[in-house]
């Protein structure tokens, strides 16, 4: 099955995600507020783009049930996830306007937007899957580690991604990619695998860019 193959192909990367200092500190509650605020601001921008990518997936879907699922997920990315982020940004007193969109945030969002507009529908379904699945995997692992999200400094974040409702949507996204891959020719399946792996790599890079509070290497000459 496509999703199973992708999980195996990205197993080293997933180990690196789970031991990344940002993810470890998020889980044990020691992540400093500046890094978390940076992440939240970048992620809010990412989710705005991601929601439009899912809306495009809905428009390009060949199956009405798929179209409904992507449209619902586009709504959730803005209504639930981005709301959670906005709440944290307010709580942290982060000045979102002062932060430039990071190179990694822009690259990941641009990659997904280009894929949504130009790639076959099957490849779009593969490219958006790591965004669902990796967050559910991380959220679930962090909840297991924390034992209880109540009282945890990042408990709302952890509960959002460890939520059984979110797990159900991950299963649906996996099911769509698996069905499309099973019916696809070899070239399309390989393009789906490339898209899945590229997006999974961007997920690691996103945690890493937040840990480094990534800036533009050109900012000394040109304001980003």
Ligand X SMILES: Cc1ncc(CN)c(N)n1
Q: Which of 90, 131, 197, 214 is flagged as catalytic?
A: 131
- Residues 117 and 124: their CA atoms lie apart, in Å, by 9
SS3 content of the chain, % helix, strand, coil (to 5): 80, 0, 20
Q: Which residue, 66 or 81, is less far from ligand X as judged by CB?
A: 81
Q: Which residue, 43 or 66, is less far from ligand X as judged by CB?
A: 43
**Shortest Å, Cβ 71 to ligand X:** 16
Residues 6+ apart with CB under 8 A from 124: 53, 56, 57, 60, 115, 116, 195
- Specify whether 48 is catalytic: no
**Shortest Å, Cβ 23 to ligand X:** 12
- Specify whether 105 is catalytic: no
CB 202 within 8 A of CB 165: no
**Shortest Å, Cβ 39 to ligand X:** 9
Rounded to 10 degrees, the C-alpha dihedral 35/38/42/43 comes to: 50
**Shortest Å, Cβ 47 to ligand X:** 6
Q: What Rg do the C-alpha atoms of the chain give, in angstroms?
A: 17
Q: Which residue, 121 or 135, is less far from ligand X as judged by CB?
A: 135
Q: Which residue, 19 or 62, is less far from ligand X as judged by CB?
A: 19
| Alpha carbon of residue 92 to chain centroid | 22
Q: Name the residues that contact ligand X, by CB under 6 A.
A: 43, 46-47, 81, 131, 135, 203, 206
Which positions are catalytic?
A: 131, 203
């Amino acid at each position: 099955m496509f999703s199973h193959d992708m999980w195996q192909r990205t197993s080293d990367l997933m180990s690196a995600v789970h031991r990344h200092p940002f993810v470890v500190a998020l889980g044990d509650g020691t992540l400093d507020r500046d890094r978390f605020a940076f992440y939240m601001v970048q992620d809010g921008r990412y989710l705005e783009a991601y929601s439009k990518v899912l809306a495009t997936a809905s428009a390009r879907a060949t199956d009405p049930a798929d179209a409904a699922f992507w449209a619902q997920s586009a709504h959730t990315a803005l209504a639930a996830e981005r709301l959670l982020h906005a709440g944290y940004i307010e709580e942290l007193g982060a000045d979102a306007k002062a932060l430039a969109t990071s190179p990694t945030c822009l690259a990941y969002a641009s990659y997904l937007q280009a894929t949504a507009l130009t790639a076959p529908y099957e490849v779009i379904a593969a490219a958006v899957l790591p965004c669902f699945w990796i967050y559910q995997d991380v959220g679930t692992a962090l909840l297991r580690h924390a034992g209880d999200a109540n009282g945890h400094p990042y408990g709302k974040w952890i509960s959002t991604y460890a939520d059984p409702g979110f797990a159900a949507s991950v299963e649906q996204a996996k099911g769509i990619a698996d069905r499309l891959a099973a019916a696809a020719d070899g070239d399309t399946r390989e393009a789906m695998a490339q898209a899945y792996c590229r997006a999974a790599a961007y997920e690691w890079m996103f945690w890493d860019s937040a840990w480094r509070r990534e800036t533009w290497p050109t900012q000394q000459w040109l304001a980003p």
